[in-house]
Structure formats: structure tokens, C-alpha cells
Amino acid sequence: MLCYSGRGEFVSLKENGKGFFAEFKKFIVRGNVIDLAVGIVIGAAFTAIVNSLVNNIIMPLISLITKGLSVNEWFLALDGKEYESLDAATKAGAATLGYGVFISAVLNFLIVSFVIFIFIRFINKIKEIGKKEKNQEAPTTKKCKFCKSEIDIDAVRCAHCTSILEEENEKSD
């Protein structure tokens, strides 16, 4: 049975399958895909930590300031009636604006964004230090004093103009 390969030709299904799985394997073992998978797992775990921080530490502190009313319970019933809680309004079928839940989500976002910013800033500083160290390494080339071409630092004769670099010979004596 023949199928279209996507490269402008028809090949047997068996042949196309081998190419597909080989290509998929090559895609998976690239470092970027594995790094992405690790990042997603760490991100999910980090999200759980941030949610716990917001819901179990920050929001209760805000509730103390607002005399015991949980931020997640802040809402506005659009039918004009008053309800005990957001849950009661929802059960009564009233349309509500749950702005407390929105505030909680915004706090989660701000905390996650701040931590990611700090992390990226830290990574960038490490990269800068690496670049500075790389730039401070001993030079590997020098300029020929006759033709001004760049040559290896250990050269005693210029590869471009074939001049003998006498200063190198004098240093070794």
C-alpha cells in the first residue's frame, strides 16, 4: 500500500512509518524537548506551591484585615439582591461577578511572574560572568608586524607573508 510521504513522493506505508518514527525519535532525544518537559513538570510543582502560598498564607492575612471575610468570597450579585456567600448566590442562580477570585488569580500571577523574573535575572548574571571569564582568557592569536595578518600566538613565521618573527626567536634565547 502506498501513501504520500509529504516530500512530494509516494512510498510504501511500511517505509513511511519507519521514517516517521525515526524522525520522532530524533525529535524527542534533542535536548530542547527534554528541557521543556522538565520545565513543565517543575512549573506545575511551582504553581502548586504558589497557590498554597496565596490561599493559605496571604489570603488569610487579608481576611484578618477585612474582619474575617475571605477574599475568594468577595462578589457582586448582578440581580441587586444580597446573599450570604458566593456559593449561595450561585445556587440561587444569580449572575455574579466574583472579583475576589479574580484578585486571588492576579496575586498568583504576580508572585509567579516575580519569581520567574528573579530566576531569569539570576541565569543572565551567571551567563554574563561566563562571558567575562571567556573574554579574559589568554589570547590565542597575534598580529604579524609585517603584514598585519592574524596568526597563531605560538607562530615563529607568518603563514601569510612568510616573514620570520624575530621577536619570538629572541624571547626563547
Q: What domains, with CATH codes, occur in the chain?
A: 2-137 (1.10.1200.120), 139-173 (no CATH)
Element (H, E) at 39: helix 31-53
Element (H, E) at 125: helix 99-135
Q: Under a CB-based contact definition with an 8 Å cutoff, are residues 55 and 104 in contact?
A: yes
Q: Under a CB-based contact definition with an 8 Å cutoff, are residues 160 and 147 in contact?
A: yes
pLDDT, one tens digit for every residue, the chain (173 residues): 555 555 666 666 555 556 777 777 777 777 677 778 888 998 888 888 888 888 888 888 888 888 777 788 888 899 988 988 888 998 999 999 988 889 888 988 888 888 888 988 998 898 888 787 776 777 788 899 889 999 988 888 988 898 888 764 445 44
Single pTM value for the model: 0.51
